[in-house]
Amino acid sequence: MKLRRSMLFVPGNNPGMVRDAHIYGSDSIMFDLEDSVSINEKDSARFLVYSALTKLSYGSKELVVRINDLGSGLGIHDLEAVVRAQPDVIRLPKTESAKDVLECEAEIERIERAAGIPVGKTRMMAAIESALGVLNAKEIAFSSKRLIGIALGAEDYVTDLKTTRSDGTELFFARCMILNAARAAGIDALDTVYSDVNNEEGFLAEAELIHKLGFNGKSVINPRQIPPLHRVFTPRQKDLEKARAVIEASEEAERRGSGVVALNGKMIDKPVVARAHYLVQLAAAANRTPIEEV
């Protein structure tokens, strides 16, 4: 299981953060060449990220690069540089259709072949940031075998809706569409950033919501948001103990040749067993002691 509880945005024009991005503890590092970089710094940011990917070690961190959209004319220059640096994932912004994904994939494949990189090595993530993109979430999610996930970009989306960020009501439809599309396609779903870094209570409430909905994780813009986010996604001891008991009961029923699984006198359905296995895998992947109930 690949953990993507947290994906830390790192501005591509910030040498200090680019150098030290691995020390903050996020599951994935996303070097940003798009919104956090001004137009007159695009070239230098691209070179900095390329240099970092080719010369620095980030350990086992998943390395993601958010390029500029291809329609801007900048995205193709981003791809020419960063695909050759071999990050794990290219994040495509402002994705509105399967065609957007396939066009980007074609450019990635062309560069892989030219650079002698195995075709298919570079994975992709599509960020959905408009009403049209949300409505096309299913076709986007199924568009390419390179996709490891789809993500919600809320700021552009709420602008497209002619509203603003509030308590999450305005994002509920988009979150459900993206989540269900991702699950149908068997890929991950990542939630949007929470930009008020000083509002820890609001951040935790949003993290709890997207965890309950079923998202794999969330993009973050400040390292302070990483520990509380991971706490939300870490199985609690009592939940893990119950999951292990369910798995033991299932295995015992299988040894008896029985199709009926029971625990403490209650029937256990197959979906409950599947969720138990997922919880145990999640705890193992997190590689840490489950937190106790407060």
| pLDDT reported for residue 288 | 53
User: φ, ψ for residue 128 (rounded to 5)?
Assistant: -100, 125
Sign of CA dihedral 162, 211, 176, 137: positive
| pLDDT reported for residue 293 | 41
Report domain extents, the chain. Answer: 6-233, 237-286
Closest CA to 128 of 110, 153, 104: 153
| pLDDT reported for residue 243 | 85
Contacting residues for 235 by C-beta, under 8 A, at least 6 apart: 243, 279, 282, 283, 286, 290
DSSP state string for 50-119: HHHHHH---TT-EEEEEPPPGGGTSHHHHHHHHHHH--SEEEEPS--SHHHHHHHHHHHHHHHHHHTPPT
The CATH classification number of 6-233 equals 3.20.20.60
| pLDDT reported for residue 290 | 44
At 113, the amino acid letter reads: R
Cα dist from 139 to 9, 50, 124, 181, whole Å: 26, 31, 15, 8
pTM, full prediction = 0.87
| pLDDT reported for residue 254 | 79
| pLDDT reported for residue 72 | 94
Cα dist from 112 to 40, 61, 79, 106, 229, whole Å: 28, 22, 10, 10, 35
**Which stretches in the chain have pLDDT values below 70?**
287-294
Q: Tell me the sheet residues that pair with 31.
A: 10, 65
167, exposed or middle or buried, with CB in 10 Å at 0-12, 13-18, 19+? exposed
| pLDDT reported for residue 292 | 43
User: φ, ψ for residue 152 (rounded to 5)?
Assistant: -95, 130
